[in-house]
Amino acid sequence: MNRNFVQKFRDRYNSYPSYNAQNAYVGLHLLAAAANDAKTTNTEAVIQALEGREYEAPMGKVTIRGADHQAIVDVTWGKTAKSVDYPFPILDPIQIALGNSVTRSANATSCQL
């Protein structure tokens, strides 16, 4: 899915997407899917349709936690390294931390929805 997203972005904009572009893409797709499921753009109905929603995104599965609306997603990190394949530094080696293991619980955030 990520390779497809990157290729479509490159085809359209002739550059590589930033993580901001990916996050905007995911956010809009989540919002559109919730509004479609709710069959309205009413704020409360869309919020309800987002709570607990899982979405397969270019960066992997995203879950919107119902208790505080936090997006739970695995975190990619690593040491930056030069690459002959890309015009920017890459992560090498790449490490993945599971979203549930690096995100504070809803109780720990003091969020009161």
What Rg do the C-alpha atoms of the chain give, in angstroms? Answer: 17
> How sure is the predictor about 109, in pLDDT bands with cuts at 50, 70 and 90?
confident
DSSP 33-85: HHHHHHTS--HHHHHHHHTT-EEEETTEEEEE-TTT-PEEE-EEEEEEE--SS
Distances (CA, A) of 109 to 23, 99, 102: 22, 15, 13
Cβ atoms 62, 77 nearer than 8 A: no
Q: At residue 113, does pLDDT exceed 80?
A: no
Residue of 53, 61, 59 whose CA lies nearest to 37: 53
Taking residue 90's Cβ as centre, other Cβ atoms within 10 Å add up to 13
Q: Residue 79 CA to chain centroid, in angstroms? A: 21
Percent of the chain, pLDDT > 70?
Answer: 100
pTM: 0.85
